[in-house]
Structure 1
């Protein structure tokens, strides 16, 4: 059985059951049982309409599971009175599922886990491995999330912005275990773009593609970090860059700028440059100005300080950095970079060492330690002033 096909059908089936009256948790459980049945029967007897088959079997599983409940007959009668949901309504069912899985009542972590389980069709084990937590812990998280949204009825359109934030969180998790979450986030955002005509959906998909295009060049064969300035740009995925730029242009043409479009524009300018020196840093600063006007995210202002340092010199970058909270993640690393560009090797080395102590991954820590050691050697070899 084609695993990709099954995963693509899962949200439509769950959504159809929810629309028929099943609560979310029961719908998800019944759909999983139907998938097991499909795994057993499809190899020898494939259905002509896989989605309709799964909806029928899942609904039967749901009714069997609720046979002892007094509401069972009411649900059956309602479905008998109303025409069965046509397969063509999968569009609405899938979109409903996106909104349910990213409901504001859920924490970000729960929304991400539930989206990967119900919309992406990943197993609990796969999600647990991706987040480096025990499977039992992830199962509890998903169960709590399902209970939280069990009684939710989406009487009004859901918030696309919330869905996009969850998908962006999935993308930023990258790769671990046997699941490439960055690729999975791109797949889900493509699916959302087919369901929703929204410029920020296009902007996020463009941003993901432009960042993902540089993935192969970001690490050495043994996993060491390669900074943007040192990356082999011939290893960038030019097809992904071209698609990302086209999506961005389509979004910007609507003249309704959002934060993901602004971030994608910055990524596109990096992708367009053959070298770091040829990067249009002035225009990047202008896009960062647009971005910080759209969102209060301090990370955007931190990245803006780096761009200012490239466009107007290290002193200007340090002045922009002084306006920010030194407790921000990566603040010390950015300060180290700007002090190095300003020629203060001793201060830069100390800041790289400080940033290494706060690093959240071994690869990042090793990279920062090497930067500190490199500058300490240069400072020791320099003649005293």
Structure 2
């Protein structure tokens, strides 16, 4: 019987591949601030560099390895000399910066790399408190308005209470309208509408695959948002959040926007009439998933508006499942607070594996009240929603139906 080879006996080429795989920050879930019990790509690499002389030579001799390891949360656990040493090891390689802004020290540590190395940044993913979110138009954030020729992913994520944050708008000229490699844009701040509809090339959002925006209703008119989406033909995932109250929608004609690559659409807390018009205006790819989430069930008083919402939901269900030969198992949940339709046995393409949710339909309410009829029982009926769908290929059907609440009659 042959003895198994020790990892110490592997050739340098294989060892370098192992080190590169372990140095992938995306394979380690990002948490709020540093947890000493959580494995990190940077921590693993620092440990590996001390195992033996060969490993140390290979690891220290790879600036690109260190360029992908600018983990702010972990670096905050090191002394200033240790932080500077990690940054020095990146050489001139492209940078992936990730972390949480927890105070002045970490805030100051993030800004210098932006100022000094902006053109080297490939990925910037920052989690920041909603009450200290910086105004990108203030001094110190000028690099956001410089050309970003290597930037692929730009993400500012809020934690704690994003519903209480005031919308912050970027000034005109974000990325100097020059970010040809940009694929992911996630932020509570919207680019200036003048940039979104700019005819200047290269258009910074034309190549975006994933777009996630918060407080979208208050930050940009719906018509301007739809106009901006017209140019995003490669958009695969769209997530929009708002905490604005329902307001009358001014009667106007909105453009039809075809998004031939869109496979995932997520709306959270958006006013229901606003959401209805958006859904009516979009023409996504066949099989596009839809997730709608509200805190309390929205109220639709007008019968015409109820029909419009029901019709557009039916259209999305049909688009997701009609003549879908790749679906052989279907799960349907229909309760007072949830309408969920999920298909199984779907193999996602590799470039879609990072989508927020797999294809399917979900309409849910986080809270409910017995004081009024559930909108699901009042507006939607499974037989109506599925009336245009062809499920002849379905082999397994999982169906969950729960009693729908009705308001108590007054005595």
* TM-score tier (shorter): 0.3 to 0.5
Indicate the structure whose relative CO is greater, using CA pairs within 8 Å and at least 6 residues apart. Answer: 1
| Structure with greater strand share of residues | 2
- The structure carrying a bigger helix percent of its residues is 1
Q: How high is the TM-score relative to the length of structure 1?
A: 0.32
TM-score normalised by the chain length of structure 2: 0.31
